[in-house]
Chain A
């Protein structure tokens, strides 16, 4: 007989014994720093609308690549998503809406990324990551070489706020990347963005990544 309560308590006790907390003073220091940052952001919110708009415009200008190496003319689409190819070959991606996944997929492929894109705007709360990336009809299969390289393929911040960078040169031979954009599966949107992105390496194939 397995007593679920006893088993779970034993597991938790073992984990608790192995817990190595930072000194409280360090936690407080980090908390104070975090509080100061959030306070600064709130202060920024008090700026006039004109100033904010000006800052956004300046930011957008700064995002534009100075030396565009792409084979197609228009990478920047400031609607549902934005793809900007950098001079060093990395690709910056921002996603704002569950719209036009085929266009995003085609754009990434044109920039040399064997990509598969799936948008799943339905409510996926409670679904496990494993379930989400194994959605019904997924044309892709997990990359047989392992996922260890995945951390080098995609870097940067959230694709819904700061933007993420895809590094085509880091993609293993025979592999591609699948991005599954879903509704937020936690309970509260992070940073007010009710979207999550799941990426994993997959086997490159015509039906999955187009190559």
Chain B
């Protein structure tokens, strides 16, 4: 992967092929909060995001010899964390949470009603639409990069982005009327 993905993480101590202990520690400290934020936007669940990112970093260290730090290890951790979070078997142990995650809002957001409404609307989106929106708007990936990271075709990514925005409008304002307030930003930047 190239472009913005390669620019995302800055790993200290360039020169070798794999992360040593000190480099990993720096990478972990720098990237953990950012990745939790990204996974939260994708999953809608703070605890789930943190658990998944934590486990992904454990796996990253276990596989450090096969992860090339020049090939965006942060993207590797993000993909792994997503896979962990998306694993139904993990969620299956918490059947109630699965339903809450995909269909019902929690009530622990901040006091701003607009923010709460936005979070609720976001949580109603199918997971893959949320993921695409987060990767595009939060991680600054291009459609092609999102396609590479998610294993979907670029056309599918565009559809998810468009559909996700459309559904946000509907959830926020009850209709997908013209002049809506979630703009259809261009989906093929970069």
Contacts and interface: CB of A to CB of B under 8 A. Distances in A.
B60 A31 contact: yes
A2 B172 contact: yes
A185 interface: yes
A184 to B, nearest CB: 8
Contact of A31 (B62, B138, B151): B62
B183 interface: yes
Contacts of B24: 24, 28
Contacts of B151: 125, 187-188
Interface stretch (A52-60, A97-105, A191-199): A191-199
A203 B17 CA distance: 56
Interface residues of B, number: 68
Contact of A130 (B102, B133, B150, B172): B102
Contacts, number: 171
Contacts of B87: 186, 190, 196
Nearest to B88: A196
A34 B37 contact: no
B7 interface: no
A197 B89 contact: yes
Interface stretch (A15-23, A62-70, A81-89): A15-23
B88 A185 contact: yes
Which of A1, A9, A21, A151 is the most central at the interface, judged by chain B CB atoms within 10 Å of its CB? Answer: A21
Interface in B2-51: 21, 24-25, 28-29, 32-34, 36-38, 40-41, 46, 49-50
Given A12-B138, A19-B50, A186-B87, A151 B28 contact: no
Contact of A15 (B36, B118, B183): B36
A69 B104 CA distance: 42
A42 interface: no
Interface string B66-92: 000000000000000011001111011
Contacts of A151: 93-96
Interface stretch (A71-79, A114-122, A142-150): A142-150
Contacts of B93: 151, 155
Interface in B153-185: 156, 160, 165, 168, 172, 181-183, 185
Given A11-B118, A128-B127, 13 more contacts: A5-B138, A7-B118, A11-B122, A19-B32, A21-B32, A21-B33, A28-B25, A31-B64, A32-B61, A126-B160, A155-B93, A188-B83, A200-B99
28 contacts: A1-B181, A4-B182, A11-B40, A11-B119, A12-B37, A12-B138, A15-B40, A17-B33, A18-B36, A18-B46, A19-B33, A19-B53, A21-B32, A22-B54, A24-B25, A31-B58, A34-B59, A126-B152, A128-B102, A130-B99, A150-B96, A151-B96, A188-B83, A196-B88, A197-B92, A199-B95, A200-B98, A200-B99
